Amino acid sequence: MRNLTGLGAVVLVATACTSESELRYTATLGVETNGVALSADGLDAHAGMAETTCTIDTNWACPTSDVDLPTDEEKIFDHFGNTTLGASVEGVYLIRGSAWQQDEDLPIASVRGASLLEGGTVMVAGTVTDCRVHRGLELSQEVPAALCEEGSHYAFDRDDGTVFAGTPEGVFRVTLEGWESLDVYGDLIAWDHSLGLLYAATSGDPKVLAIRPNGVTEWSAQASGPITSIAARGEHGEVMVLAEDRDGFGVIERREGETGELLGRSRVPDADGDLVVSENGHTVAVVRNDEVNFFGLDAGGAGPTVDDTPPVCLDLSTREGGMSFGLD
């Protein structure tokens, strides 16, 4: 179902990054999104947008394809391989390439976090009165109510399906054998599969730390200011931290995953938003309420070669209830 009336156009704007920035601004998607996931190479973003799911060229902030589902409020949780994972009021759905796989839909309500695995799906769903971790339709585990509290964040290990949850009551780990509460507090978390480390922070606090899956702290460090989001930098063994700098601007820090050492920092206009980083570590998205800013990051080697030819942007004005997207 699509009703795009009132959505703004895709625009390209300049950011207020200073000369110290190692991030390279590419484009801004000037619309409200409901969940954003990046392809492994960072060239595409997959976003829930106004009752449709779109693929966005990250170098031009241009929608290149969309998939219509007979639902409202579609939210994107993950993209892995050639598959996008989302959820709606009717449950979990999969998009492979640009086709909706209706026969693979899972009728699980109130999905709060979800991930694609090497062989299936795992998700946190429910309410504080009935909170569960689902592994496909075959296995459902009851977990503490804290995992379904508002403000909780989730991280997943694609290899074995382990779920980490940062909640107002602390950090939890859920495996096939059961769940445990780790001796760590933090509602912001990110799993680094390359190092086997979990990064954690508390919203509004400057401390970021790395812990082993058993809860043992590996290191802790002070960011430039109150932290609003963290993300693992794919295969590079690094953590990205979005924080508020002392002068009120935002700063994105890049830290070494094994030690917490500060490797680089980039100034951005403000500290609002959620960080999303591609698996190759060369595309960074800052997802805000009404826009998504895309950046390139060449640290640790250049990113994929990009064709400078503008892509063909999807014209939604030809669709029922739609309007066109354009580049300024």
- The structure tokens listed for 3 are 């009703």
- Which pLDDT belongs to residue 302? 72
> What does the pLDDT look like over 110-145, one tens digit per residue?
999 999 998 899 999 999 999 999 998 889 999 999
Three-state secondary structure call for residue 21? coil
Residue 100 CB coordination number (10 Å): 18
Domains of the chain: 23-298 (2.130.10.10)
Backbone dihedral region for residue 213 (phi beyond 0: left; psi -120 to 50: alpha; all else: beta)? alpha
Residue 130 CB coordination number (10 Å): 11
CA distance 292 to 156: 23
- The structure tokens listed for 107 are 């009728």
Interior angle at CA 80, CA 294 and CA 235, nearest 5: 70
- The structure tokens listed for 190 are 């990110």
Furthest CA-CA distance within the chain: 55
Q: How many residues does the chain have?
A: 328
CA distance 77 to 9: 24
> What does the pLDDT look like over 153-209, one tens digit per residue?
999 999 999 999 999 999 999 999 999 999 999 999 999 999 999 999 999 999 999
For the segment 17-45, the average pLDDT, to the nearest whole number, is 87
